[in-house]
Amino acid sequence: MKSMPYAPERITVTDAQLAGWTGELAGTDLLLSGRCPACRDSTFVNLALTSTSLEGADRRPTPALLTTSVPCGCTTSHRDRPATVAGGCGRTWEVTASIAADGAVTLAAATDPYLQEAADAFRREQTGELQAVRTAADRWTAGVVALIGLVGLVMPAVGRDAIRGLIPAARAVVGIALLAALAFAALAVLRGYQAAHGRPITRLVDDDEALRDWYVRHRGQAAVAGHRLRQAIRAATATVLALAVAVGSTVFGPVSQATSAPVRVTRPDGSVVCGTLLSSTRDNALRLRRGDDGSVEVLPAADVVRLQPVRSCTSP
């Protein structure tokens, strides 16, 4: 008998067509075997009840009733079948699997259109999931590298020495702004990558209630991605503003006045004058603000025998 041509399409089945099918639950896999309702060839399928995708996760207990999409897995050679397809005639159909406590499975034709669409979406979601997870992991790595590189971009912009020259209040503003910029930058990178590539999570879908929940989450991924993208945009804007505050405070912030430590000057006659050195417009002379009465005294260089820095003019 000539085999039917390969065609990737969904078909509707009846209970009579599923009468000879058998199945069992093995861990998180549903093992089904029977004759394909379309090509009538013997087929065996191993349906995973987990989906590793880029959205949230939860876990449900013992399976009970599950609507699932079954692809033909026969080994018959069907003409027009692509070389990349291992087997089957291309047809898929939805069934409702009743799973007993001992793992035995009985099949019936699926009748709920919503669950049929959900089961088909779940099956298609599993196609290429390994490559999707690997690609997401590669892009996550690039995001982490970009996050680490932000430090190298921020520090040269403000300058470490320039920050040290500011008054304490200005230094505090710059420090807080830099910390905020790094925090917002981290949030922007993480939310942006989550919006674009998601977060690999394994979910167990082993009954109709779990399938409904998965399908709702699956259909809501675009809204979740949009929300995360808006968060990334806001965080990126906040990063730019925080960096602007840090750079502006460094460039235009008040600079601390340079001060000199007290010095003790010994004269030729042995007398001592202690105070703070001031700038002088005369050559070969020192201007000193005395530490005892605050007066300014000019000392010719010839009258200075010894110049000694001290902690304070009151210390011995």
Using alpha carbons only, what angle is made at residue 111 by residues 107 and 115, rounded to the nearest 5 degrees? 95
- pLDDT for position 60: 55
- d(C-alpha 115, C-alpha 257), whole Å: 75
Report yes or no: 59 and 50 within 8 Å, Cβ to Cβ.
no
> Which amino acid is it at 157?
A
pLDDT at 54: 55
pLDDT value of residue 86: 85
Percentage with pLDDT > 90 across the chain = 25
Q: Is 222 left (phi over 0), alpha (psi -120 to 50) or beta?
A: alpha
What pLDDT score does 97 carry?
A: 92
User: Is the Cβ–Cβ distance between 190 and 258 less than 8 Å?
Assistant: no
- What residues have CB less than 8 Å from 130, skipping those under 6 apart? 52
Could you give the 3-state DSSP secondary structure of residue 63? coil
> What confidence score (pLDDT) does residue 68 get?
93
pLDDT, residue 157, reads 58
CA distance 9 to 126: 17
Compute φ and ψ for 109, nearest 5 degrees.
Answer: -65, 135
Helix or strand or coil: residue 270?
Answer: coil
pLDDT value at position 93? 95
- Spell out the residues 6+ positions from residue 260 whose beta carbon is closer than 8 angstroms to its own: 276, 277
**Averages of pLDDT over each 10 residues, the chain, 316 residues:** 84 93 88 93 88 57 80 92 91 93 89 91 76 61 63 63 79 89 84 76 85 81 77 84 85 71 88 85 83 85 87 74
For residues 209 and 40, is the Cβ–Cβ distance under 8 A?
no
Alpha helices in the chain (DSSP H): 113-126, 129-158, 160-164, 168-197, 208-219, 221-252
The terminus-to-terminus CA distance of the chain in angstroms comes to 116
Say how many C-beta atoms besides its own lie within 10 A of residue 285's C-beta: 15
Q: Is the dihedral of CA 114, 115, 116, 117 positive or negative?
A: positive
Please report, for residues 52, 80, 202, 210, 271, the alpha-carbon distance to residue 57 in angstroms, rounded to integers and kept in the order given. Answer: 9, 39, 6, 11, 84
Cα 46 to chain centroid, rounded: 34
Name the 3-class secondary structure at 50: strand
User: What's residue 103's pLDDT?
Assistant: 84
Give pLDDT tens digits for 65-89. Answer: 899 999 999 999 999 999 988 899 9
Residue in 39, 34, 43, 42 with CA at minimum distance from that of residue 16: 34
